[in-house]
């Protein structure tokens, strides 16, 4: 894919950003703990690399097997789906999944979503768990393998001749014309913000797991590196990093061919871009979520972009250390390895740093796209 690596963006004011803690976080965590196959995902140390870079610790949150799916996305899709159905049908938040499913079936609820891959599969999984129909819209850039995995969850897969943004619009249009239609989307746009914010809330479980896992090792995070698509995960990261008395540095990483946040941060306003494609398919997004933007503009300390080739190198590095992730999951390591000689100071990287890399997806085929 073509490459256009950009200079690092830094925001010194983010160090003083303070955000409210998510009041529902304990409820969200309890919800996830009651889902089938729940267990905290591993936090893997890269001790050799930490020594080489002169930092205290580097850890990777391995989301390659989250609730039986190969991505963190199910955390947001599950809570977002549950919360959206409960809200639509005026159900209490302590309702169990069986009763929620019965109520949703009685109301003829059908789920819709657009996806670059993992989110759509997670929504399809939730539809299967709740015995509901689902239709997932995918842009042409999503490969056959990803489409097949979504279809295997029981959802109808509709291919859109366009990009991710086009797929989101098609999903929204289909939802409005379908009785009982409910769009479970991990981005926000005019008139659609509640469900996307609940999806962001779902990611809080990962943040709290990281805190507990580091605490067990006598560590506290000082830098979190998060991949960015439309910015929903990054919003959860910033919301956690800048609340509850914490002031953790946040570093955003995007493909250099799909740097919608990086472009917008430099412009000071949401700036849609066209994306020519990347092996980091889940990050191949051209527009920052409207709900995410205020949080990210205020709370992202630094933003970088990485090329497909550097991301591929990061995938291989992790594999040599028995950590098997896809390109989106390795993007954070690529960012860390690409930091220039003048940049450690600007992002607060020093001998006391505890760096957390969010390894957001498990391994998947992508070599044909290199």
Q: What is the pLDDT of residues 113-130, one digit of tens each?
A: 999 889 999 999 999 999
207-216: average pLDDT = 98
Which sign does the torsion angle of CA 42, 303, 233, 297 carry?
A: positive
Contact yes or no for 58/357 (Cβ under 8 A): yes
- With bands split at pLDDT 50, 70 and 90, how would you rate the model's confidence at 2? very low
Return the residue matching tokens 């001749």: 161
- Checking if the pLDDT of 3 tops 80, the result is no
Contact yes or no for 39/31 (Cβ under 8 A): no
Return the residue matching tokens 């549950």: 82
The CA-atom distances, in angstroms, between 272 and each of 4, 228, 231 are 16, 14, 13
Say what percent of the chain tops pLDDT 90: 92
Which DSSP state fits 239? H
Q: What is the pLDDT of residues 245-296, one digit of tens each?
A: 999 999 999 999 999 999 999 999 999 999 999 999 999 999 999 999 999 9
The residues with which 157 forms a beta bridge, in sequence order, are 136
The residues with which 223 forms a beta bridge, in sequence order, are 249, 355
pLDDT at position 85, please? Answer: 99
Q: Alpha-carbon distance 208 to 221, whole Å? A: 11
- Checking if the pLDDT of 340 tops 80, the result is no
- Checking if the pLDDT of 367 tops 80, the result is no
- Checking if the pLDDT of 5 tops 70, the result is no
Say what percent of the chain tops pLDDT 70: 97
Stated pTM of the model = 0.95
- Checking if the pLDDT of 101 tops 80, the result is yes
pLDDT at position 1, please? Answer: 44
**What domains are there in the chain, each with its CATH number?**
9-71+203-369 (3.40.50.1100), 73-199 (3.40.50.1100)
206-235: average pLDDT = 98
Rounded-to-5 percentages of helix, strand, coil across the chain = 45, 15, 40
């Amino acid at each position: 894919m073509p490459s256009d690596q950009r200079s690092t963006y830094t925001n010194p004011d983010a160090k003083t950003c303070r955000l409210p803690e998510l009041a529902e976080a304990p409820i969200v965590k309890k919800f996830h703990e009651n889902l089938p196959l729940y267990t905290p995902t591993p936090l893997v140390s890269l001790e050799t690399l930490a020594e080489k870079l002169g930092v205290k610790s580097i850890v990777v949150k391995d989301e390659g097997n989250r609730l039986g799916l190969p991505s963190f996305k199910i955390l947001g899709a599950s809570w977002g789906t549950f919360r959206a159905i409960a809200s639509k049908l005026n159900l209490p938040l302590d309702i169990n999944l069986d009763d929620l499913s019965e109520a949703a079936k009685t109301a003829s609820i059908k789920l819709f979503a657009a996806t670059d891959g993992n989110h759509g599969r997670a929504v399809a999984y939730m539809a299967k768990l709740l015995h509901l129909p689902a239709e997932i819209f995918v842009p042409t850039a999503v490969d056959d393998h990803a489409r097949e995995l979504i279809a295997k969850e029981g959802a109808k897969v509709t291919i859109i001749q366009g990009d991710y943004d086009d797929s989101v619009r098609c999903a929204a249009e289909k939802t409005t014309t379908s009785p009982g239609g409910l769009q479970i989307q991990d981005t926000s746009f005019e008139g659609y913000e509640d469900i996307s914010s609940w999806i962001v809330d779902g990611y809080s479980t990962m943040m709290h797991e990281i805190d507990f896992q580091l605490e067990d090792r006598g560590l506290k995070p000082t830098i979190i590196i998060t991949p960015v698509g439309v910015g929903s995960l990054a919003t959860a990261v910033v919301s956690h990093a800048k609340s509850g008395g914490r002031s953790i540095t946040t570093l955003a990483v995007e493909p250099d061919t799909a740097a919608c946040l990086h472009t917008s941060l430099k412009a000071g306003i949401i700036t849609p871009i066209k994306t020519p494609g990347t092996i980091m398919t889940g990050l191949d997004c051209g527009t920052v979520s409207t709900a995410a933007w205020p949080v990210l503009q205020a709370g992202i300390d630094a933003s970088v972009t990485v090329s497909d080739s550097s991301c591929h190198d990061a995938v291989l590095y992790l594999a040599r250390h028995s950590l098997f992730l896809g390109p989106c999951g390795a993007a954070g390591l690529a960012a860390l390895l690409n930091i220039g000689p003048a940049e450690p100071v600007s992002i607060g990287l020093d001998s006391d740093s505890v760096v957390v890399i969010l390894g957001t997806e498990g391994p998947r085929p992508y070599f044909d796209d290199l």
